[in-house]
């Protein structure tokens, strides 16, 4: 496990183990029982049918706590349910149909894309796009990293947040006594990121009701429910992390694939040009069939979160993988861990065909994977609440870029995807491309 993280192949290593030992196997890690599974039946039980018996708090609160504190990502039970209920207005239907604010950020991004044939790493720009967008609907103000005048302290926050996130990723993989826990820079970065967010908490607490925005802003909504600065800050950070990565990582991986498959780029651009010059909306771009195939295929091969774990909160079972034939139920005792690899699940040849390792968006024209075998955003009560907004914003950004540029060239000498395993899995080499502008 340690070697696979160091060699940037953690997801691939888990897949190799599941291929070798079967889609459910058990290990003993530092004296702790851990069951690995990529069986849809088991995932349905863990994420939905037996949801209350599997939690995240025993593992996540220690791992994520220094950065996120207690919130929807790190707690179970009543605390989690309360946090989840607070988020619903932010990811409401109204938010997903209003693209005016997002258009401003996308325009700024496109203005920074070179048109002279030079190489650009889209990963850096997509990270800024996601930060600008997510900060606006969470804090009420954008960080404006894509503008000429970023918000004061935004650049420093970005670097502190990135370092803290990498540290959390290491804590997630290693035991509690690992050396990274004593990394002073990690703790300083977490503290600085939390302090930066607190200024938006103070603004939310001091604002007047008559200045209420038409858009649902999480900081404002939380300030009406509680005056506890720490609770508001923690909830904001708990949502900020997945909201940012859901867009930044997905967009990077889409263009990583498009640069290596010019035929897919051409077909996708043909579909996009059929939109004409009418006003774009989230609904219109999400209705583009082949575009959604491209996004689905990217999420299949490169899920933003490659694997997740749960801890048994009491003695329970999962339905299959045990016994001599591997078809019997398995006892999961209180305190045992269960981990699934979405990366391995999405590449099973018995579910996705012999070419499951290949990037082929056309497969989705006929593919209807069995329930619980395609889980890019998880499943059950803990399914990502922002998945629809994330897909809408990703679709919109792709359309706007392909309307502006007629071609793409890969400028990365390494053709295969190299993992950078943090909390999420991003491309270690980014998405280095050349974009060819439309001739005027």
The mean per-residue pLDDT over the stretch 416-436 comes to: 91
CA distance 197 to 140: 11
- The proportion of the chain whose per-residue pLDDT surpasses 70, expressed as a percent, equals 94
pLDDT of residue 95: 60
pTM of the model: 0.93
Helix axes 184-206, 57-68, angle to 10 degrees: 80
pLDDT surpassing 60 at residue 179: no
Element (H, E) at 329: strand 328-332
pLDDT surpassing 60 at residue 29: yes
* 34 bridge partner residues: 27, 337
pLDDT surpassing 60 at residue 212: no
Residue ranges for the known binding site are 384
Q: Backbone phi, then psi, for 149, in 5-degree steps?
A: -130, 80
Quick one: tokens of 138?
């969470």
pLDDT of residue 84: 86
Q: Which domains does the chain have, with CATH numbers?
A: 2-437 (1.10.630.10)
pLDDT surpassing 70 at residue 365: yes
Half-sphere exposure (Cβ direction) of 395: Cα atoms closer than 13 Å: 27
Q: pLDDT grade, residue 32 (50/70/90)?
A: confident
Residue ranges for the known binding site for heme are 384
């Amino acid at each position: 496990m340690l070697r696979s993280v160091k060699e940037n192949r953690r997801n691939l290593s888990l897949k190799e183990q599941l291929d070798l030992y079967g889609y459910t196997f058990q290990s003993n890690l530092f004296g702790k029982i851990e069951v690995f599974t990529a069986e849809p039946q088991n995932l349905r039980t863990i994420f939905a049918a037996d949801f209350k018996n599997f939690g995240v708090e025993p593992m996540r609160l220690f791992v994520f706590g220094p950065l996120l504190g207690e919130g929807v990502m790190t707690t179970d039970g009543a605390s989690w349910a309360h946090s989840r209920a607070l988020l619903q207005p932010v990811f409401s239907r109204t938010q997903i149909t209003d693209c005016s604010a997002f258009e401003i950020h996308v325009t700024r991004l496109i203005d920074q894309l070179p048109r002279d044939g030079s190489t650009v790493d889209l990963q850096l720009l997509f990270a800024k796009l996601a930060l600008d967008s997510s900060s606006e609907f969470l804090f009420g103000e954008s960080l404006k990293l894509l503008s000429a005048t970023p918000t004061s302290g935004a650049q420093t926050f970005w670097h502190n947040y990135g370092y803290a996130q990498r540290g959390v990723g290491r804590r997630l993989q290693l035991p509690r006594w690992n050396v990274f826990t004593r990394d002073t820079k990690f703790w300083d970065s977490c503290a600085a990121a939390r302090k930066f967010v607190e200024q938006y908490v103070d603004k939310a607490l001091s604002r007047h009701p008559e200045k209420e925005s038409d858009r649902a802003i999480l900081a404002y909504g939380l300030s009406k429910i509680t005056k506890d600065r720490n609770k508001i800050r923690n909830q904001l950070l708990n949502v900020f992390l997945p909201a940012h990565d859901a867009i930044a990582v997905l967009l990077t991986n889409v263009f990583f694939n498009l640069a290596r498959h010019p035929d897919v780029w051409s077909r996708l651009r043909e579909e996009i040009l059929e939109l004409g010059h009418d006003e774009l909306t989230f609904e219109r771009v999400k209705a583009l069939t082949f575009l959604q195939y491209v996004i689905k295929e990217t999420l299949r091969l490169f899920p933003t979160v490659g694997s997740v774990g749960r801890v048994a909160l009491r003695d329970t079972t999962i339905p299959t993988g045990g016994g001599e034939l591997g078809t019997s139920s398995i006892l999961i005792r209180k305190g045992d861990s269960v981990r699934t690899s979405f990366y391995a699940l999405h590449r099973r040849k018995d579910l996705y065909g012999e070419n499951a390792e290949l990037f082929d968006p056309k497969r989705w024209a006929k593919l209807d994977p069995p329930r619980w075998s395609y889980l890019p955003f998880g499943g059950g009560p803990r399914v990502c609440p922002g998945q629809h907004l994330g897909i809408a914003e990703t679709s919109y950004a792709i359309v706007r870029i392909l309307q502006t540029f007629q071609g793409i060239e890969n400028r990365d000498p390494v053709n295969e995807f190299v993992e950078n395993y943090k909390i999420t899995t991003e491309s270690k080499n980014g998405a280095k491309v050349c974009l060819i502008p439309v001739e005027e």
